[in-house]
Structure 1
Amino acid sequence: MSTMRAVQVVGYHQKLELAEVPVPEATGPWDVVVRIGGAGVCRTDLHILEGQWAQKSQVRLPYTIGHENAGWVHAVGSAVTNVREGDKVILHPLITCGLCRACRSGDDVHCESSAFPGIDTNGGYAEYLLTSARSVVRIDDSLEPADVAALADAGLTAYHAAAKAARRLTPRDTCVVIGAGGLGHIGIQVLRALSPARLVVVDRNQAALDLATSIGAHHGVLADGSQVESVLDLTGGHGAEVVVDFVGENGSTSEGIAMTRQAGDYHVVGYGENVDVPTIDLISTEKNVIGNLVGSYNDLQDLMALAATGAVTLHTQKYALDDFQQAITDLDNGAVRGRAILVP
């Protein structure tokens, strides 16, 4: 049996460890084994190590993390017809059944019997990954797996939220994006592609704001304590029709709701703290608080169409698989511009 390198969670509040594990095989009819070309490093991976997902995922340790994956098809099961060996693919993060009501509706994120590589089963911080035919999206020849891997989750989540926001935004509206990091910098590009609204980006880091304005944001606001006032000033004192919060911690939720106009939408995408709003404030302003998970398979197809035309580009910092600890440390310290990618 051939083996491969894989980065594994061996215990919560412990460092990740590199291990030699068996290469997965395509034993089931719909199985697809992918040779990983790039795996994104996500803040959720830090939250996993802190044990935040232990109850939700019920995963057994040790296991391999990494839920933003792209590469080349290595092997396929007997029933697979949509891809073949050698195809360049990006992976929808979930392995879904295809048969439940949610899957039939194209809302496969809420599949009743899904697996989530990197969260509750083995993920892509490795040389190979097992997924299913339903989860693979062929990518344009012009794209390289290591350059687009983080579009599988960070990009897909940002696309899902931005597409929901764009449905209500008109040319007279303002959309505030909180956080121009790994998710935010993709969300900004998607909003520019899908929406005519004015885009205002809030971030505590000037370099992130510079990146944001270079990729299409109309205004950058430094989160220095006066960001709520700045947004209110830019919107005639009313607030923005839509706020998309890619941070979701360190006080961003109360600030985001304060920046939202009456009857506006506050989208939570990043997470880490509780949303605390007096009910009287919700009913008197008719503000909507909207949760956003990752996008659907169709969302991923749409996002890859934008990527193929160059409307969305991922800014990446690449690390060798063996340097996984440096990537995790850099992300934790806020030293990554865009998205960190592990390359086996």
Structure 2
Amino acid sequence: MKAARLHRYDPSIPADSLRVEEIDEPRIEGPFDVIVRVGAAGLCRTDIHVVEGQWAPIADPDGTLLPYVLGHENAGWVEEVGSGVTNVSVGDTVIVHPLITCGLCRACRAGNDMHCENGVFPGIAVDGGFAQLLKTSARSVVKLDPILEPKDIAALADAGLTAYHAVRKSVPYLYAGTKAVVIGAGGLGHIGIQCLKALTPAEIIVTDPNEKALELAKEWGADQTVKVEDGYVDTVLEMTDGKGAEVVFDYVGERGAEDDAWKMTRSGGYDFVIGYGGTINVPTIAVISTERNIIGNLVGTYNDLAELMIL
């Protein structure tokens, strides 16, 4: 089958680091294996970070797993199943959770499958979905209505899931009268805005440097928008009575957004870090004296993805 494989990590992202090649098709090996014929695969910013080598220290520190197929935002149709699979059948339309999890470790049993102690992440050090076929597991596939087209939903497997996961965790903090700031109305942020509107009564303030994105944010549910430019943090603080928002969602995580997010979070509030690439520099005295919380977000659970598909 044809597949796009990563051959080396390089911050300059050279054209020859990713090559389309003919490789062997994956095979059913275990009773809960599922092989999906890929109908669509999203290109995520994380894919760029993988090529740059940002994930190598975590997933492939010595580079011995190269080459492998990129792609962790996948949807398609079930091609083949193992003998123990009962939740999907050949021909079903499915979206694929980014992780393959064991279901047996403490994290999985607690419902935090994205922290599975035995999990693997297709597209990061093992073969992903930039190929005609993808091997995953029964625990990772969500069956969908056959009228849905994979090309319309593939990106929700990570971009949508990650945005939803963060908003889902924030629900207890966003009751009537609270405010939420969304930094970045791009690939993840626009989904986050819609999830916030659907799940919470909070007033939504969206920041972005792109005026067109801010116009769209209004259509998606933003109550107020602020263009990212000199002084924009002060503008947001004015909108939040000079105190900041109860929850800030940083869908950028670099180029200064990580610092601005902290400044816009009120005392006792929550700074949800979703985008990455930068560094958060916060004195410990600022954390304990204000009881502001920095919350990391790694994709989401299987249940999060199933809920998102209903939403």
Match of 1:79 among 81, 84, 92: 84
List aligned pairs for 1:242-253, cutoff 5 A.
Answer: 242-253=247-258
Match of 1:166 among 147, 162, 171: 171
Q: Is 1:119 the equivalent of 2:124?
A: yes
List aligned pairs for 1:1-344, cutoff 5 A.
Answer: 4-13=1-10, 14-15=14-15, 16-58=18-60, 60-306=65-311
Whole-Å separation in 2 of the counterparts to 1:79 and 1:67: 24
SS for the counterpart of 1:247 is: coil
Whole-Å separation in 2 of the counterparts to 1:225 and 1:167: 33
Deviations 1:5-33 (A, max 9, x none): 11111111233111111111212211100
Residue ranges of structure 1 left out of the alignment (5+ in a row): 307-344
Deviations 1:67-111 (A, max 9, x none): 010000000111111111100000111111111111112211111
Name the aligned partner's letter for residue 162 of structure 1: V
Whole-Å separation in 2 of the counterparts to 1:73 and 1:34: 4
Deviations 1:39-68 (A, max 9, x none): 111111111111111111116111100001
Structure 1 residue 120 displacement after superposition? 2.1
Name the aligned partner's letter for residue 180 of structure 1: A
SS for the counterpart of 1:167 is: helix
**Alignment correspondent of 1:333:** none
Structure 1 residue 232 displacement after superposition? 0.7
SS for the counterpart of 1:22 is: coil
TM-score, structure 1 normalization: 0.86
Structure 1 residue 140 displacement after superposition? 2.3
Whole-Å separation in 2 of the counterparts to 1:134 and 1:49: 27
Cα RMSD, aligned residues only: 1.0
Q: How many residues align?
A: 303
SS for the counterpart of 2:173 is: coil
Deviates most, 136-145 or 112-121: 136-145
**Alignment correspondent of 1:332:** none
Structure 1 residue 167 displacement after superposition? 2.0
Deviations 1:107-133 (A, max 9, x none): 111111011100121000111100001
Whole-Å separation in 1 of the counterparts to 2:244 and 2:95: 38
Deviations 1:125-149 (A, max 9, x none): 1111000011110012342111000
Whether the 8 Å CA contact 2:253–2:273 is kept in 1: the answer is yes
Structure 1 residue 160 displacement after superposition? 0.5
Runs of 4+ aligned structure 1 residues displaced above 3 Å come to: none
Residue ranges of structure 2 left out of the alignment (5+ in a row): none
